[in-house]
Amino acid sequence: MEKLSHNFPDVTLLITHYNRFQSLKRLLTVFEEINCKFGEIVVSDDGSKPDQLEQVKNLQKEFVFRAVTTPKNKGLGNNINKGQDAVKTPLTLYIQEDFVPAPDFGKHLQYAVEQMKIRQDLDIVRFYAYFKYPYLKNSVNGFSEMYFNIISPGYKKFYYYSDHPHLRRSNFFEKFGRYIEGSSGDFTEYSMMLSFLQKKGKGLFYDDFESLLAQQNSSDEPSTMKRNFWRESKNPAVFMLREAYRYSKFNFDLLFKKF
């Protein structure tokens, strides 16, 4: 039986890459295997080592994509900014090179694209997360609408926006601003998260958030995101302090700082 093909001429696949060409090749290969075709593919490289960058260029002999490079590593913010600047289609599917889409990803992306075209108030559709967004409503075809209320309990409500794989409008910067450059990846994501909330962004969230994409790292190509003890510790005392700190800081920053 012939595999169903999913064509997305209005979507650019934007992949951020840094020193993991094997992961990049795997991602491009899987998208071909599941018959997802895009208006264009842009690979934004964050100053990979010369041998890695040479491998990326070699991949262009096997896959059709445009590589956007920089002579030195400038961090997550710059890498996303220059990649997004290169996009020419109305919609962007943003994904990091270490993810692998499931066989049925295409049909869910198709629904997301349709919703973005129907609903002009939507800014993003999220496909993956570390945890389920706590405030969801109106689930249709596996997608629910996220909603935010500052008086709702907990701080996880603030994670409305995430750098994890999502579909967005390519004029994203016009509404929410560019990603902060020269800061850590965590702060870059945090500042965009608060900008998204302050500017009343809207989005959908895929309910079964771990089923459409898998994040796969290996000893040969480990994750390039480094986090500190305070952020990762499971010590009960540290955990409680971290929860209280985040709740206070997130509320203060949203209300009194401009992002």
Contacts of 98 (CB under 8 A, 6+ apart): 20, 23, 27, 215, 216, 217, 221, 223
For residue 256, the SS3 value is helix
- At 87-146, the pLDDT tens digits run 999 999 999 999 999 999 999 999 999 999 999 999 999 999 999 999 999 999 999 999
Is 222 domain-assigned? yes
Is 185 domain-assigned? yes
Residue-wise DSSP of 160-201:
TS-SSSEEEETTHHHHH-PPP-SS-HHHHHHHHHHHHHHTT-
Structure tokens at 81: 């900014």
| Terminal-to-terminal C-alpha distance of the chain | 51
* CATH (domain of 127): 3.90.550.10
pLDDT for the residue 242: 80
- At 200-245, the pLDDT tens digits run 999 999 999 999 999 987 666 565 655 454 455 667 766 678 888 9
Q: Which long-range contacts (CB under 8 A, 24 or more apart) does 224-229 make?
A: 224/18, 224/19, 224/20, 225/185, 227/186
pLDDT for the residue 229: 47
Q: Are 98 and 20 in contact (CB under 8 A)?
A: yes
Domain count, the chain: 1
- Structural domain containing residue 234: 6-256
pLDDT for the residue 38: 98
Is 163 domain-assigned? yes
Is 1 domain-assigned? no
